[in-house]
Amino acid sequence: MSHQDHHDDDHHDDGHGHTHTNGLGSCGSRDHSRRAFLKGAAASSVALLGSSYGMPDLTFAQTAGKKTLIKIFMRGGADGLSLVPKYGDANYRILRPDIGVPTPSADPNSAIRLDDMYGLNPNLRPLMEIWDTGRMAIGPGVHFAEGNRSHFDCQQWIELGERKDAGDGLFNKYLQLNAGNDPLRALRAGSNNMAASLGGTIIVPAISAGRDYNLTNSDWCGGTNCSDNGLTRALEQLGAVANVGPEIERETRRTSKIMVDTIAQVQAASLNYTPSANGMLYLDGENGRRFTTMGRGLKLVAQLLKAGAPLEVAAIDWSGHWDTHENQIGASIIDETNSHARSLREGADNLVTFWRDLGALRDNVIVMVGSEFGRTALQNGSKGTDHGRGSVWFALGGPTVGGIYAPLPAEMTADLVRNRPNNNSVPITMNYKDMLAEAMIRHLGVPQSQLTTLFPGHTFTNFNMFTRSV
């Protein structure tokens, strides 16, 4: 269990959802004295859950109609003109003679028609199940004017909601501004490393997988896989008695109870879990399936939502081969040995599994997928693409109204052909801030007056992407 991105020497994550806290007791020994135990428990509790002041006892009962926004990050600069090719523009094939996705046809390597201008990469074919419901929106030119071509900078600025090198994340600012104090209001899912969007004043849990979510310490742990977890039992005993001792002891007891109850609830939600996805399974690394952080994260979110967790915002990574400077495609667009194609196909399968698994809960959940920037429209000499600007962002579920929003200019690729190679980035037709802001206003109920704090200096443009009545 990890609640923020620690860089000190006395916390480390083992990759299985456990957090190990060294130094409980004195000099690593099993000093079970009341003072040493309370000191160690307090330190662990603060590190894991932050201040417990004002926290109620955990109820884990979600209010009816509670809304959730999931942001999935394609870190690495995903190529929008590959994901959603502008096949209807003849100049597309001039710019991409070797890597362009073919015009829709019976060929399984060709684009899947969305409208007369845009298609879907054939590796994303499973997403047509969602598109055909009219509940998937696509922005083909999303980025922000102040962005550059640095992966690190653009990821950081998107996650903070402003061009700033440090500070509280966008979602953490949302948590601070809006009422709620349940430990599972927000979540970094599928990874033990905190996302910058969730980092900040309010401590947010980062959980790789529900079944492995636990608290262990080598001095308090024995048996195979820590079957004799003395630390957890000790914290359970500490939290079982509420109003004993001075104020710091009462707060330590209360925080310990919340921490242990949270672990128990997350584990219970994942116990013997089978997705309700018509035979589809998350790519979560279990039972011989390929492991993806996205599959593991979406599975965890589905488990918690179906168990009634009051989850409002979550951050997940769609890890893949997005930095496609060379050999962007293999022998064909759908070549299974090509990492770019495989990344697309696996992500699409995970999204559709999640879509099916949620069932009626999909009315309460928006999934938003985007990258820090796009690629150049013009292929390079290595049959790849270089860092660009505009890229594709998707949204699905909740009140999303399907369609193509803020389409690229009709003469976009013609202009790039005439002016190459110095002006070959996909233009920006929508600011990511507008897409996120509208979802937060219409879906999470954020007052528009908060936008000046969430996205400082930005003037909101409403694209009416999230107006469906649900």
Q: What is the pLDDT of residues 267-310, one digit of tens each?
A: 888 888 999 999 999 999 988 999 999 999 999 999 999 999 99
pLDDT band (50, 70, 90) for residue 265: confident
Those residues with Cβ within 8 angstroms of residue 35's Cβ, 6 or more apart along the chain or in another chain: none
Residue that terminates a domain, selected from 232, 254, 283: 283
Q: Are residues 270 and 311 in the same domain?
A: no
Residue that terminates a domain, selected from 226, 254, 283: 283
CATH number at 119 reads 3.40.720
DSSP assignment of 261-277 equals HHHHHHHHHHTT----S
Number of domains in the chain: 2
Place of tokens 């929008």: 80
> What phi and psi values does residue 251 have, to the nearest 5 degrees?
-65, -40
C-alpha distances out from residue 369 to 119, 166, 196, 278, 383, Å: 17, 23, 16, 24, 26
N-to-C CA span, the chain? 35
Q: Are residues 331 and 450 in the same domain?
A: yes
- Mean predicted lDDT score pLDDT of the chain: 83
Q: 75 vs 419, which has greater pLDDT?
A: 75
Q: Does an H or E element contain 137, and which?
A: strand 136-143
Q: Are residues 169 and 95 in the same domain?
A: yes
Cα separation, 214 vs 369, in Å, equals 29
Q: Are residues 16 and 109 in the same domain?
A: no
Residue 62 lies in a domain: no
Cα separation, 31 vs 219, in Å, equals 10
Residue 461 lies in a domain: no
**pLDDT in the model for residue 266:** 83
Residue that terminates a domain, selected from 268, 283, 298: 283
Residue 200 lies in a domain: no
Q: Are residues 76 and 104 in the same domain?
A: yes
Q: Are residues 89 and 35 in the same domain?
A: no
Judge whether 130 and 362 are in contact, CB under 8 Å: no
Hey, which residues does 284 pair with through a beta bridge?
291
Residue 132 lies in a domain: yes
> What phi and psi values does residue 288 have, to the nearest 5 degrees?
85, -5
Q: What is the CA radius of gyration of the chain?
A: 23
Q: What is the pLDDT of residues 441-455, one digit of tens each?
A: 999 999 999 999 999
Owning domain of residue 264: 10-49+217-283
Q: What is the pLDDT of residues 19-51, one digit of tens each?
A: 433 222 223 334 444 444 444 444 444 344 333
**pLDDT in the model for residue 431:** 98
Residue 293 token pair: 């952080």
Asked if pLDDT for residue 141 goes beyond 50, the answer is yes
Angle, helices 293-306/339-358, rounded to nearest 10 degrees: 10
* Dihedral Cα 344, 349, 353, 356, nearest 10 deg: 90
Place of tokens 């900078």: 153
pLDDT band (50, 70, 90) for residue 235: low
Residue 384 lies in a domain: yes
Residue 238 token pair: 């500490």
Q: What is the pLDDT of residues 379-425, one digit of tens each?
A: 999 999 999 999 999 999 999 999 999 999 877 666 776 665 556 88
Angle, helices 34-49/247-270, rounded to nearest 10 degrees: 60
pLDDT band (50, 70, 90) for residue 2: very low
Residue 199 lies in a domain: no
Q: What is the pLDDT of residues 155-175, one digit of tens each?
A: 999 999 999 989 999 999 999
The mean per-residue pLDDT over the stretch 175-194 comes to 90
Q: Are residues 146 and 230 in the same domain?
A: no
Q: Are residues 106 and 222 in the same domain?
A: no
Residue 54 lies in a domain: no
Q: Are residues 251 and 304 in the same domain?
A: no
Percent of the chain whose pLDDT exceeds 70: 74
C-alpha distances out from residue 45 to 49, 146, 191, 204, 309, Å: 6, 40, 20, 13, 21
Q: Are residues 277 and 301 in the same domain?
A: no
Hey, which residues does 197 pair with through a beta bridge?
none
Q: What is the pLDDT of residues 6-20, one digit of tens each?
A: 333 333 344 444 443
pLDDT band (50, 70, 90) for residue 212: confident
Q: Are residues 224 and 356 in the same domain?
A: no
Cα separation, 151 vs 386, in Å, equals 12
Q: Are residues 296 and 275 in the same domain?
A: no
pLDDT band (50, 70, 90) for residue 214: low
Residue 183 lies in a domain: no
Q: Vertex 17, ends 14 and 21: CA angle to 5°?
A: 60
Cα separation, 439 vs 430, in Å, equals 14
